Amino acid sequence: MQASDLKRWRFRFTDPADVARFGGDWIVWDEEPALRLPARAIVQLEVELGVRLGRVIALARINDTMANLAAIWLSIRAKDPDAAGPFGDFDVQVYFTEWEEIEAEESEVTPPLDPTLSPDSTPSPLAE
């Protein structure tokens, strides 16, 4: 995957319970900072997610439920790890989340993701 192939998306919650919990503002899901983590940090995230990061990126682009859930969790976790909590406990209304791609001219630098595992997370085997 080349940097020019990577995309930035924004999403916002529309379900009242999710809006109450996370707000209704746009939140950015940026593929590049996720892939720029050190290899071992990516492996730790993949263990917590139970799926490979490249698969999350590929499947989120086609609106896959699990991939969207993972992308949302990674984005929230990058902003506020405590609010995101462990991935195994994270549950939002994925199909009531509005998504749109951020065009290149709108892009701004997104900080890298925090590679620290949640203290309550239970590693699961990697999924293909």
pLDDT per residue as tens digits for the range 48-91: 999 999 999 999 999 999 999 999 999 999 999 999 999 999 99
| Strand, helix or coil for residue 22 | helix
Average pLDDT value for the chain: 86
Which has the closest alpha carbon to 71: 6, 5, 4? Answer: 6
| The predicted structure's pLDDT at residue 103 | 87
Which has the closest alpha carbon to 67: 5, 7, 25? Answer: 7
Percent of the chain with pLDDT over 70: 78
